[in-house]
Amino acid sequence: MKREHPTQRRPRRQATSSPTYLARRRVLVAALAALTVATATRATAAPAHLGDDATTAPVPNRAPTPRLHVSPTSGAAPLTVTLSARRSRDRDGDPLTFSWNFGDGTVAGGRTARDPAASSARVTHVYTTPGTYVAVVGVADASHVATASRTIVVEPPAPPAPPVGALDDGALEGFGATTAGGAGGRTIRVAEPTEAAVRAAFAEARSGGAIVSFDVAGPIVVTSRLPYLSGAFVTVEGNGATLIGSGIDPSAPILEVSGHDVIVRNLRVRNGGDNLRAQGDGAYNVVFSHVSSTGAADDGISIGYGAHDVTVQWSFVAGNTRSLFVKYGATTDVSIHHTWVMKQWIRGPLVSSAVRADVRNVIVEDWAMWGVRFEADASGNVVSSLFDLGPYAHTIGGKPRSALRLIQSGPVFTAGNVYSGLAEHSVDGLATAPLDAPPVTTLPVADMEPLVRARAGCMPRDDVDQAYIDLHDGWNVAKELPLRLTAP
């Protein structure tokens, strides 16, 4: 018997062209389009236009931006310093708290100010002890602390100025001052204004224990190297005499000290190679006082090759290509004070090698390249000195920012120096206290300047020294070109 399969019914397809189907389809398409537009609008709209039920990611709180201004940044103790963080800002508008660490073991803080320009962001502090301090301000909001710092250098207090009349420019001070020179020794007199008379006197003084006294003013022309002053305990009393080395070999000195305990004073030396020297290990306890050294082809005063414990004081050094040279060998312990250096090319002074030099109450004026320089392993003090560069010296090469150059590795202490004219204060020493040196009467620049201008050099001044002082322009001095003046 044949089995019959049940009948399989196919679903009836609704006609796509029926009015009912088409109406439903139009409603669905419209609804989908509206949903798409609404979604896009929500995605691009600003948060302020969102509905009450919308949420956004919070913006993180940002740290304050600290600013610290300090005035002054250096000076003598006790030093009152104003520190201001008024320019600090918070980008979120949060109230700020200011905390202070003055770097000397004292702190202050916890002051809140909604307005950073308020007085609570400004403090004063007195530093009583010399040293270098780092002052720090902490600027905090509720979430962050940011800091700013400044360095403050506090110098030793200036010694009280002695009465002007009490300053004795004949007293010996500094590293070389322990010498008595030829005091108590025999007197050797230069009685004629001749080179032969000077030569004979210096040769006799080589045995030591003598005072060489010039009884004539000169000028005395020197044409060849004079005998070295190699004897110990010798004083050269120039009494205003003038030695002129115009005929001498450019490499030769006019007067050289190679012995110990020697004083040279009240003498003019002009137009030599090196005018005046203290050189060699045997040259120590040496003083050059009230000396005028001008017009040297090389150094006006040269201290080197092992010389030590030397003082240059109350001297006038002008027109030399290189004014003061302190260098080489074991040379050290040199004092230069109450001295007027002017119209030089360089070296006013140059302190080099491992020399320790104490430079104070010096006037350095009108350099054609640079003024004073410490280099190599040198160290020392530069205190209460005046650096003055005039317009004319600047036109021939004098560099305003090279009044004082510190390119040495050893410590140098600077304090109380004044820069005038076109000279610029471009550097300070890093030492926080003076290096050890024998006492020297030291005045503030305002008191020192008129005294040194009036008393430095061989006194009374002659017309040639005065001509250097009175000459303001039209002069030149260079590497191989000294400035040699004659009497008007």
Band (pLDDT 50/70/90 cuts) for residue 162 is: low
pLDDT in tens, 248-268: 888 899 999 999 999 999 999
State percent of the chain over pLDDT 90.
Answer: 73
Q: Between β-strands 340-344 and 418-421, what pairing exists: parallel, antiparallel or unpaired?
A: unpaired
What was the pLDDT predicted at 42?
Answer: 44
Inform me whether the pLDDT recorded for 115 exceeds 80.
Answer: no
pLDDT in tens, 349-380: 999 999 999 999 999 999 999 999 999 999 99
Across the range 285-293, mean pLDDT stands at 98
Q: What is the mean pLDDT of the chain?
A: 88
What was the pLDDT predicted at 392?
Answer: 98
Band (pLDDT 50/70/90 cuts) for residue 17 is: low
pLDDT in tens, 179-236: 999 999 999 999 999 999 999 999 999 999 999 999 998 799 999 999 999 999 999 9
Q: CA 289 to CA 98: how far, in whole Å?
A: 57
| Residue 283: both structure tokens together | 């040259």
Inform me whether the pLDDT recorded for 5 exceeds 60.
Answer: no
Inform me whether the pLDDT recorded for 21 exceeds 80.
Answer: no
What was the pLDDT predicted at 119?
Answer: 46
What was the pLDDT predicted at 309?
Answer: 98
Tokens 């796509």 sit on residue: 16
Q: What is the DSSP code (8-state) at residue 129?
A: S
Across the range 401-408, mean pLDDT stands at 97
Q: CA 67 to CA 51: how far, in whole Å?
A: 42
CATH number at 164-470 = 2.160.20.10
Contact 343, 316 (CB under 8 A): no
What letter represents residue 263's amino acid? I
Domain assignments of the chain as residue spans, ordered by start: 69-155, 164-470
What was the pLDDT predicted at 76?
Answer: 87
Q: What are phi and psi of 137, to 5 degrees?
A: -110, 135
Domain 69-155 in this protein, CATH class: mainly beta
| Residue 266: both structure tokens together | 């009240």
What is the b/e burial string over 263-282, where b = at least 16 CB atoms within 10 angstroms of the residue's CB? Answer: bbbbbbbbbbbbbbbbbbee
Instruction: Kindly report which listed range (104-118, 170-184, 364-378) carries the lowest average pLDDT score.
Output: 104-118
Band (pLDDT 50/70/90 cuts) for residue 156 is: confident
Q: CA 112 to CA 101: how far, in whole Å?
A: 16
What was the pLDDT predicted at 142?
Answer: 87
Band (pLDDT 50/70/90 cuts) for residue 58 is: confident
